[in-house]
Amino acid sequence: MGDEVVLLPAAFSGDGPAWASDAEELDTAIFAGQLPEASEGYQPADLGEAEWAMRMLARLKARELEVRAQAEAWARPILEWEQGELARLAPGLDLFGKALEQFGIEERRRRPREATVRLPSGQIPTTMAKKPTIKVADEEAVIAWALENLSGEEFDRCIKTVQRPLELELRRILTTREVPGRFCVQCGELLIPAGETAESAPGPVGIDRLHHASEDTNYDEGTGVDHEPEPEIVFEVILDADHAVAAGFLDKPQPPIPGMVAELSPTTARPKPQL
């Protein structure tokens, strides 16, 4: 059997609205994105016009698919080229980026008060934590401690009704102390032994950072300089002074809060080349 011609019911045969009488001119205008002014607010008047509008929409959709397919075909080799070029650059970017990050961190350790390493071709901003951040390490242990030691109002602020500790609220009533006997505080050239405080040291000093009490150094053959070892800082989380008094710890040593840890954020560096 040959192809059969299927005739549309009379209700679906129509030539469109009056402003579409010149089909060729209309096609040119529509595919150029220039709709006739008379088309504004157009609504099909009957099934015939609706079918005509559907045919127009189908042609435009088909053209839309053609444009997208062509764009994808053109874009594919460009994207492949981009990925290939970036892949070749990646090892060098990683090498020099990480090297400068580490250099920035080491410079900040040597010169704690200088936050940015400035170079002719760019700069390396760094960040260094001034104080440790209190975090919850064992939720169950913190909840058990809070039930025994916090007032009802403080408990409600710090522990959710589902009994999850709220770090932000806990930080308001907790503080940290250095583990005694293992570390000392370095204030410029002045070393304060563990167990003492900056207030007990001779003269006004500002605590720059905590430093490992070990006498070991790392010798750098390239510069001939002994570098101090990386500080390994340990803290205990305890009640702050006001809450320690309220909890009855004024005349006895404060025990560390179970399940809580205090961490110093690592020093970071982000190289920014001058482009």
Determine whether 244 is exposed, middle or buried from the number of CB atoms within 10 Å of its CB (0-12, 13-18, 19+).
Answer: middle
Q: Residue 233: which of 191, 262, 206 has the closest Cα?
A: 262
Q: Residue 23: pLDDT above 70?
A: no
User: Which of the four pLDDT bands, split at 50, 70 and 90, describes residue 78?
Assistant: very high
Handedness of CA 221, 223, 225, 229 (dihedral sign): negative
If one compares 224 and 50, the residue with the highest pLDDT of the two is 50
* pLDDT more than 70, % of the chain: 68
Asked if 60 and 30 touch (Cβ cutoff 8 Å), the reply is: yes
If one compares 229 and 248, the residue with the highest pLDDT of the two is 248
Most confident of 154-158, 161-165, 182-186, 202-206: 154-158
The pLDDT value recorded for residue 123 is: 93
User: Which of the four pLDDT bands, split at 50, 70 and 90, describes residue 33?
Assistant: confident
The pLDDT value recorded for residue 173 is: 87
Q: How far apart are CA 97 and CA 108, in angstroms?
A: 17
| DSSP helix/strand/coil, 65 | helix
Most confident of 17-21, 81-85, 226-230: 81-85
> In angstroms, how far is the first alpha carbon of the chain from the final one?
72
| DSSP helix/strand/coil, 116 | strand
The pLDDT value recorded for residue 180 is: 53
Q: Residue 1: pLDDT above 50?
A: no
Mean pLDDT of 87-93: 94
Q: 40-68 pLDDT, tens per residue?
A: 777 877 788 888 788 888 888 888 888 89
Q: 94-153 pLDDT, tens per residue?
A: 999 999 999 999 999 888 888 999 999 999 999 888 888 889 999 999 999 998 888 888
Mean pLDDT of 142-169: 85
Is 0.85 topped by the overall pTM?
no
Q: How far apart are CA 264 and CA 262, in angstroms?
A: 7
Other beta carbons within 10 angstroms of residue 239's beta carbon come to 21
The pLDDT value recorded for residue 75 is: 94
Question: For strand 235-239 and strand 122-127, is the pairing parallel, antiparallel, or unpaired?
Answer: unpaired
Which residue is it, tokens 């990646």? 90
